[in-house]
Structure 1
């Protein structure tokens, strides 16, 4: 699968305040997720985010929440964002590609990815923008998601595939602001 900005959605799973400090490399996950949101905004890729039981795990990290628009944040109680039954209705159009980031890799991210794949979607998981409390859980989750058909990608792979070509105003804007 090659990512296409006109067919993609960026899905951010449960990057929440009380959980983030416990995530191995949690600050980096937040930074990479914010970066992906910025690139998505430049290229017109819809963004969706979820919160798992915010009463217990806290609200979305402010660095992420500040980048979200009204209607882009869904509260959920199931581990899988797909299991809530309303994820697809919040995205305009019939976008087939889902770029996924967030926490925890081996719980909510993995269950969402497996359900997206079962629903016939193409899924790319951004390796440096997912995390778990234990690095071993993240590694196992990435391996399992790959075995079930998800592509494991880097954030720059996503950006350059969404851009598709150089020497465009969008390329120049993304290069200037995000590619260092």
Structure 2
């Protein structure tokens, strides 16, 4: 597996919803990192898929990220693994990309199952660990270990930004650099 490429990537933002985010440990940091990934995806032309689990009960995507999610494909889901939703796999395939960068909540439930589902469909899957969270640290860390054992690559949002940038000295690099300063 080679490094990340903006031309090969899809950003998948899992269930960062109004009623769930406040109970997640370190949710402020998580939202900040997710926002960086969303803005970087827009700058680099990376398609974004946003999932919302039972939004009528849990609420839609958290207000702090709504603007950053403009233009994203929103998938309403009832399955913990978004890949189990009717039409999701076919929609994802139409994007024509082989790499999935996943972030969101909860790391040990919907993030884990969606990442494993994408891996099972043959995608190269990366989980941005600093843009994921769970209610308990032990669940989050165990989820990351299980993902790594399954061949999902742990990354940070800054790793993703720099790999999508590819090189310094360009206008795109300067725009991306402003996100992480």
TM interval, short-chain normalised: over 0.9
SS, match of residue 105 in structure 1 = coil
Partner of 2:8: 7
What is the root-mean-square deviation in Å for CA atoms of aligned residues? Answer: 1.4
Please show how residues 58-77 of structure 1 align to structure 2 within 5 Å. Answer: 58-70=59-71, 72-77=73-78
Distance in 1 (CA, whole Å) between partners of 2:47 and 2:71 is: 12
Deviation at 1:64, TM superposition (A): 1.3
SS, match of residue 106 in structure 1 = coil
CA contact 2:48–2:72 (8 Å) conserved in 1: no
Please show how residues 14-29 of structure 1 align to structure 2 within 5 Å. Answer: 14-29=15-30
Q: TM-score, normalised by structure 1?
A: 0.94
Please show how residues 1-180 of structure 1 align to structure 2 within 5 Å. Answer: 1-70=2-71, 72-88=73-89, 89=91, 92-175=94-177, 177-180=178-181
Deviation at 1:121, TM superposition (A): 0.3
CA contact 2:105–2:111 (8 Å) conserved in 1: yes
Deviation at 1:69, TM superposition (A): 2.5
SS, match of residue 40 in structure 2 = helix
Q: How many residues align?
A: 179
SS, match of residue 80 in structure 2 = coil
- Listed as ranges, the gaps of 5+ residues in structure 2 are none
Q: TM-score, normalised by structure 2?
A: 0.94
What whole-Å deviation, never above 9, does each CA across 1:147-173 have from its counterpart, x for those lacking one? 001110111110111111112221122
CA contact 1:46–1:91 (8 Å) conserved in 2: no
Distance in 2 (CA, whole Å) between partners of 1:23 and 1:173 is: 30
Distance in 2 (CA, whole Å) between partners of 1:169 and 1:49 is: 27
